[in-house]
Amino acid sequence: MGFKKEIAFALVFLCVISLVTIQSVKSQSTGNIYINTDGSVSGTNKITHNDNEYTLTEDIYDSTLIIERNNIVVDGGGFTLLGAGGWGVAGVAGKESSAAINLTCSNVTIENFNIKGWEVGIYLPFNNNTVKENVISETRSCIAIYADNSNIDGNYLASSIDGILDKGNNDISTGNWIVNNYEAFLIYQTTGHVIFANRIENNTEAINTSDGEGLEIYYNNFINNQMNVVTANDALSLPTFGSGGSLPSWDNGKEGNYWSNYTGVDANHDGVGDTPYVVRTAPYTTDRYPLITPYDVPEPSINSTTPPSTSTSQMPISNNNPVLQPTTNSTMGKQPTNNPNQQKIVLIIVTAALAAYLAVVIAVVTFSNNKIKQFHKENSKETCSVC
């Protein structure tokens, strides 16, 4: 009878723990967070609201922030939007949620966020938005622009496939540090895109463009990139012409960019090299007015959070298979202190242990019952023979 009580107790306890586990996993499942058109916030209590200013107050794990209200400022407060995976982490590429922040509105400023482990860090499908002073890493695209008149200013974009993917027009990228990516810029056919005063460092491809005629590129620091510019025709081994991949202009008519491997001199000390810098030999294109010293591009700062320092080593990325390697830098911003994955693991271990315990109890009871039956059977035979 004691064995039966023990089995019943184990079964009830296992059921309770299983329900707790299921409920916990359910409560930790991802859900969207909204800043609604009426100004209200739904899906979290970690965003405060004061008129047209919204501020994140804690780290958020694996929940997309969808912004539907126009004419607001959303401040990350230096906290982290941490996705479930990341293109910078071996073995998990392709398992990410789609975007950390999705702007389905206009005239919004996104600032002071740490974003890590998403397919897209910030997605801009609407016109006239600003993204400034954010740290974004381990993504497919740190910033993906599918609209016009976007202003990308003073961000740290690192350890991803694309720093900035742009399919819009009249977009401005300035003051950004774009380091350790496969492509710093992936730019489709655009017009009026201005890239100036950025630090573009340790990328496999600095700029990949399908139509460089729509670009203005000057005052940037190009440092230790494997390839300065790649066009759409390169993949097809075709000559570069027309919409198949024109090469951009590399100066504003007076000054160009800084190139870490430029070996020319400045005899008149005007800060501009006396000979052009050869950006690419085939087809041939040059920066006519290369800068002798780096342009002043301050390191982005996210409130009190310090972005990761720039490494001088190239990213170990194959040109044919752009899979990023794990990042070992521990200063990418605040990490969530209570990762729900850890809680899930603990609950799963406890449940498994109880299941194993119940299996042992059942096995012992079954074995004991068989022994008792065998004893009674043998004892019954002996009794009959005496009779």
Looking at the structure of the chain, the number of domains it has is: 2
Whether the CB-CB separation of 73 and 123 falls below 8 Å is answered with no
Q: Which residues are 31's β-sheet partners?
A: none
Measured between alpha carbons, how far is 309 from 175 in angstroms, rounded to an integer?
A: 16
DSSP 8-state assignment for residue 228: E
Residue 252 lies in a domain: yes
Q: Which residues are registered as beta bridge partners of 334?
A: none
| Weakly modelled stretches of the chain, pLDDT under 70 | 1-30, 86-97, 235-246, 303-387
pLDDT at position 355 is: 64
- The pLDDT of residue 293: 98
Other CB atoms within a 10 A radius of the CB of residue 288 amount to 16
Nearest to 260 by CA among 297, 221, 295: 221
In a domain, 41, yes or no: yes
Which among 221, 253, 287 is the end of a domain?
A: 287
Predicted structure pTM score: 0.71
Which tens digits make up the pLDDT trace of 225-252?
999 999 877 754 433 333 345 688 899 9
Both 253 and 376 in a single domain? no
Asked if residue 374 belongs to a domain, the reply is yes
Q: How far apart are CA 6 and CA 250, in angstroms?
A: 79
Containing structural domain, residue 124: 31-287
**Does residue 58 lie within any of the structural domains?**
yes
Q: Which of 99, 96, 100 is nearest to 84 (CA)?
A: 96
Would residue 324 count as lying in a domain? no
pLDDT at 20: 44
Tell which phi-psi region holds residue 149, choosing left (phi > 0), alpha (psi between -120 and 50) or beta: left
On whether the CB atoms of residues 196 and 221 are closer than 8 A, the answer is no
Residue finishing a domain among 287, 322, 357? 287
Mark whether 104 and 160 lie in a shared domain: yes
DSSP 267-289: TT-SSB-SS-EEEEETTEEEESS
Q: Based on the domain organization, do 100 and 6 belong to the same domain?
A: no
Confidence (pLDDT) at 81: 96
pLDDT, position 95? 47
Residue in 163, 172, 174 with CA at minimum distance from that of residue 193: 172
Could you tell me if 195 and 282 lie in one domain?
A: yes
**CATH assignment of the domain containing 78:** 2.160.20.10
Looking at the fold, whether 79 and 126 belong to one and the same domain comes out as yes
- DSSP H/E element including 81: strand 80-82
pLDDT of residue 235: 58
In a domain, 315, yes or no: no
Together in a domain, 6 and 116: no
Among the candidates 220, 252, 287, a domain finishes at 287
Q: Verify that 283 and 351 share a domain, yes or no.
A: no
215 SS3 class: strand
pLDDT at 190: 81
Is omega for the bond preceding 283 within 30 degrees of 0, making it cis? Answer: yes
pLDDT, one tens digit per residue, over 186-214 is 998 888 899 999 999 999 999 998 877 78
Beta-carbon contacts of 22 under 8 Å, excluding residues fewer than 6 positions away, are none
> Same domain for 114 and 255?
yes
The pLDDT of residue 234: 72
Tokens of 316: 């170990």
Q: Which two tokens stand for residue 114?
A: 């740490």
Task: Decide if 80 is inside a domain.
Answer: yes
Rounded CA Rg of the chain: 30
- pLDDT of amino acid 331: 29
Residues 173 and 274 in one domain: yes
Regarding whether 200 and 74 lie in a shared domain, the answer is: yes
Q: Say if residue 96 is in the same domain as residue 151.
A: yes
CB 102 within 8 A of CB 67: yes
Instruction: Give me the pLDDT at residue 191, please.
Output: 87
Tally of CA atoms within 13 A in the half-sphere of 384 that contains its CB: 6
* Contact indicator for 96, 86 with CB cutoff of 8 Å: yes
- 269 shares its domain with 345: no
Tell me if 234 is assigned to some domain: yes
